Structure 1
Amino acid sequence: MKEFKMNTKISEAIVTHNHWKFDLKNAIETGQSGLTVDEIQNTHLCTLGKWLDTVDGKRLPDYSQIVELHGKFHHEAGKIRYLALTGQPSQAIAKMQLGSLFSQLSSLLIDKLATMNKKMGDAIVMHNRWKFDLKQAIATGQSHILVEEAQNPLLCSFGKWLYSAEGIILPNYLELVELHGEFHKEAANILHLALTGESSEAIARMQLGSDFSRISSNLIDKLAEIGQETNCEL
């Protein structure tokens, strides 16, 4: 029961912090927000922050590192919200794009939380890190992954498990298969652009609001939900 509770809290935290980019994007587009900058930068107000303050939360592995990452994440989110609410949308958008401090902190925090989820953690970390592999390919024009390999969802460890006897009994199985396939198809499209000298187009297809950004976030959400509901091992 205690392990289930922890997985539930971790899954909720992954989904919540994964969605911050959309909340901030909405604030940039509308110039409005339901939270003040001070509230956003207060790490004790969100669900994860409250849990980290509990006895169970303080027993987490790498507790100090999680607290530090969580604090930096909220501090940077608050700075972006401030820019959004004071008529500086261009600066706010720049601070959210691929390679920005916010993007890095968001991925690091999700990775750290995912590794504590014994159910779907590896799959979340692996697919969350694709953005860095693609960014490296864009920067160098090279990759250890072939486009055909990136496009094949059966080659990653999660894809292989997904089509196993254990994987096919997952809740919302067909939805997950479709989402996983879309993720690898779009990743392959970006990789192809990166390896054929079309770096500007590749970067555009990874930015906030792109299909890759949307599919990636949806996949992480779905994996976190499954990690909460099932007892699976990759």
Structure 2
Amino acid sequence: MTDRKGEIAANLARVEQRIAAACAAAGRPREDVTLIVVTKTYPASDVRILSELGVRHVAENRDQEAAPKAAECVDLPLVWHFVGQLQTNKVRSVAGYADVVQSVDRVRLVTALSKEAVRTGRELGCLLQVALDAGESGRGERGGVAPGGVEELAGAVAAAPGLRLDGLMTVAPLTGEYAGRQPAAFARLVDLSTDLRRAHPAATMVSAGMSADLEEAVAAGATHVRVGTAVLGVRPGLG
């Protein structure tokens, strides 16, 4: 355990340096950017170590793994983000532990999340997942609403009881005009965020960037970066 804590601490320090350098290069204060550590496939013991090291935001993408892990770590002062594609039949479980759902991409999901938030008396933060590979209509191959659908979906979240519209999220697309062009993809997301804030001034979160491209995300204006491998190492079974 001690070795693992040292390993995570060293990795965390390196990621922290990268974020600080990216902020300095972009002329932004370091506190502008929040690190979310993606803990999917890693054990609850790692989440506990992260909390001991001062991490406050963690993310999961599969409910069947996240629910028991969140329950095991219920005593920790953490903000849990759900970042995976979310089926409506998993909403009741996810709404029980997630503080923020970053993958809201359709009105049916908004309705289901609202129902559970009201039922449990919780307020759920919501980010609209934008699919930059979807053109102006339709959905992306990894979920998400097309840029042209953001305004309507944002209105649905803002009007839904128990939900709070926090902003936008994207995953750098693998196909389409933004494939391999992270700076352009993240800049597009920030432009969409600027448009969104005209109608919803409190929706200031821009979640973009992961281990390999967090610098590009910070340069574009991301407020939250989602980093897993660079902090916790190569995922079990993947190397």
TM normalised by structure 1 equals: 0.29
* Larger RCO (alpha carbons 8 Å, 6+ apart): 1
Structure with higher Rg: it is 1
**TM-score for both structures, normalised by structure 2:** 0.28
